[in-house]
Amino acid sequence: MITKVGVYTRLSDEDRFKANKNDDSNSIVNQKSMCVKYAAQNGWNVVDIYSDDDFSGAGTYRPEFERLMKDCEKGRINLVLCKSQSRFSRDMEVIERYLHNKFIEWGVRFVSIIDNADTNNEANKKSRQINGLINEWYLEDLSQNIKKSLKNKRDDGLFMGSFAPYGYQRSENDKHKLVIDPVAAEVVKKIFELYVSGLGYYKICEHLNNLNIPTPAQYKKQCGSNFVCGTCDYDKVVWTKDTVATILKNEVYIGNLVQGKKTSLSYKVHKSKKVPKQLWCRTENAHEPIITKEVWNTVQKRLNSHECPTRCGEIHYLSRKVYCSECQKAFIRNTYKVKSSPNGRRIYLQCKGAKQTHTCQNKKSIKLQDMEKILLDAINDLLKKYYDKELLQEQYKKLKINNINLEQIKILENEKNNINKKIEENKSYYRKLYEDKVKGIITDDMFKMLSSDYLKEIDTMINREKKLDEEIIHYKQTEDNKKQTSEVLKKYNKITKLNKVIVDEFIDKIYIGSYDKETNTRNINIVWNFLN
């Protein structure tokens, strides 16, 4: 029978990950040359050469590999020749499926030169299987090493994304460093500014689209980037609320890098999965910020409050600010037509529990105009007190002396670092147990029994890490609020009219109590953003 050889060669990034970068032993050209010479020495006829360049040896789709299998099934090829078994595949499942099943069914022989694999030789079947297992371990180890390498680079504050986020570009001197793109950065600033002023997502989009400002995808294309948006029609794409929301929530604009939010399911399956928030790589002050932390905190507070725009697309400055002291429900706005009013209407605030669900006795409404006067007087009174020299000095003393929050943050971060180390140790122990199970050193039952403790401890530590992150965020927010106290108050002398920016800077919440008919009064408690 004429031997019809199909030479198969493969090269991928995993093969380029070598100690000696000048080593070209795995190159496609070298593999082809070695296989063709070997076939000639044995008097075999080379029918075709199949080459997959830049494809992994794991169980993923490879176009030339698929073509080779089809030719084998059709009988066009009856001998597959490779430099080594790992060139054919590093996946144990693929080795078993083809070398020890399909090839026998199709009458195809497999030969590899370097490791002497030959399916015509039953004596080396176990060695082929061991080679397949070793190759799979190698691939798994390599995957873990690459992941660790990427994580270390992220932890070091290096940008590892494929494309710089909108508003930034890669530094010409260091591709892992972000620098501000002056054109796009101005658009980012405008988006934050419009949101702080009280505009909702749709109004911001309308403003950007009316000015014909290119979307992030369009801008990247205009700048010559290789970025490709498969769902975009670049001629028709416009700003959307999702794009604006993504920008407003991205910490990159205050100089922070938050990376590692997704990872591949495994080294075999390249679909991604979300990574728990506590395991993200966060590096603060990694690059120059576009937005100040003061603006950022204002925006995040509003985003978390789920404020709703009015019909005109703007958010009222008292949205999600006024609540009932009795039932804790929000006070809602009601507009009535009144001829005596200058604009023909009058706005009242009333408890939602009393107005809509009738579950609260705090039924008396309050005019928005009266509420505005109360708030203006309260804010101006606060400013007046602040500029009293003795109070000013006392406040600066408190800011200077009170370092409890900073010390607590340091303690919590140290504990978090220790937990991360223990998690990595337990993962390493678990992996060694798994290898011992595969090698037959321990049974499946022993593996389950020994590994359960490690897995429980990892879960416990991950839960503790979540709590630590929450506490750290709380203390950092408290410290930021202290620093902002004098900065906010210094900006104003006397306020004559309220707006969204002023209210958000000064006031966290307003609680309105029940109306007392005997005294014609009601308690109104203002919770300031920075005074405890």
Sequence-distant (6+) residues with CB within 8 A of 512 are: 322, 323, 324, 325, 331, 349, 351, 362, 366, 522, 523, 524
Region label for 376, one of left (φ > 0), alpha (ψ between -120 and 50) or beta (otherwise): alpha
Whole-number pLDDT of residue 78: 94
Question: Which comes out higher in pLDDT, residue 110 or 316?
Answer: 110
pLDDT of residue 23: 44
Averaged pLDDT score across all residues of the chain: 79
Token representation of residue 183: 């054109």
Beta pairing partners, 323: 330, 511
How far is 77 from 315, CA to CA, in rounded Å? Answer: 71
More confident: 473 or 388: 473
In angstroms, the CA 53 to CA 10 distance is 6
What's the pLDDT score for residue 387? 67
- Amino acid 284: pLDDT: 86
Tens-place pLDDT, residues 478-489 = 666 555 666 666
Distant-in-sequence, close-in-space partners of 28: CB < 8 Å, separation ≥ 6:
9, 11, 51, 53
Query: What integer is the mean pLDDT of 381-394?
Result: 67
Listed in sequence order, the residues at least 6 apart from 135 whose beta carbon sits closer than 8 Å to its beta carbon are 57, 85, 86, 89, 90, 91, 92
Asked if residue 511 lies in contact with residue 323, where contact means CB atoms within 8 angstroms, the answer is yes
Average pLDDT over residues 497-518: 85
pLDDT at 311: 52
Q: Helix (H, G, I), strand (E, B), or coil: what is residue 52?
A: strand
Angstrom distance (rounded) from CA 27 to CA 509: 67
Task: Sketch the domain layout of the chain as residue ranges.
Answer: 4-153, 156-305, 322-387+493-528, 403-471
Q: Which two tokens stand for residue 452?
A: 């359960």
What CATH number is given for 4-153 in this structure? 3.40.50.1390
Selection from 83, 114, 82 nearest residue 98 by Cα: 82
C-alpha–C-alpha distance, residues 324 and 330, integer Å: 6
Q: Buried b / exposed e across 167-184, counting CB within 10 Å, b at 16+?
A: bbbbeeeeeebbebbeeb
Architecture of domain 156-305: Alpha-Beta Complex (3.90)
- pLDDT tens string 6-50: 999 988 755 544 434 444 446 788 889 889 999 999 999 999 999
User: Of 54-58, 68-72, 73-77, 179-183, where does mean pLDDT reach its minimum?
Assistant: 54-58
- Percentage of the residues of the chain whose pLDDT score is greater than 70: 76
Report residue 268's pLDDT band, with 50, 70 and 90 as the boundaries: low
pLDDT of residue 22: 42
Nearest alpha carbon to residue 482 among 528, 527, 526, 531: 531
Kindly list the distances between the CA atom of residue 40 and the CA atoms of 68, 80, 84, 342, in Å, as whole numbers in the listed order: 20, 14, 18, 101
Per-residue pLDDT, averaged over 229-251, amounts to 81
Tens-place pLDDT, residues 321-353 = 899 998 988 888 888 777 666 666 788 898 988
pLDDT band at 401 (very low <50, low <70, confident <90, very high): very low
Q: Where is 102: in which H helix or E strand?
A: none
Give the lowest-confidence range in 268-272, 371-375, 427-431, 434-438.
268-272
- pLDDT of 68 reads 94
469-487 burial code (b ≥16 CB/10 A, e <16): bebbeebeeebebbebbee
Q: Measured on CA atoms in the order 232, 233, 239, 240, is the torsion positive or negative? A: negative
Among 57, 138, 129, CA closest to 435: 138
Query: How far, in Å, CA of 523 to CA of 364, rounded?
Result: 12
Give residue 209's identity as a one-letter amino acid code: N
For 39-50, how does the pLDDT look when each residue is reduced to its tens digit (9 = 90+)? 999 999 999 999
What does the pLDDT read at residue 188?
Answer: 94
74 pLDDT higher than 70: yes
Q: How many other CB atoms sit within 10 Å of the CB of residue 134?
A: 15
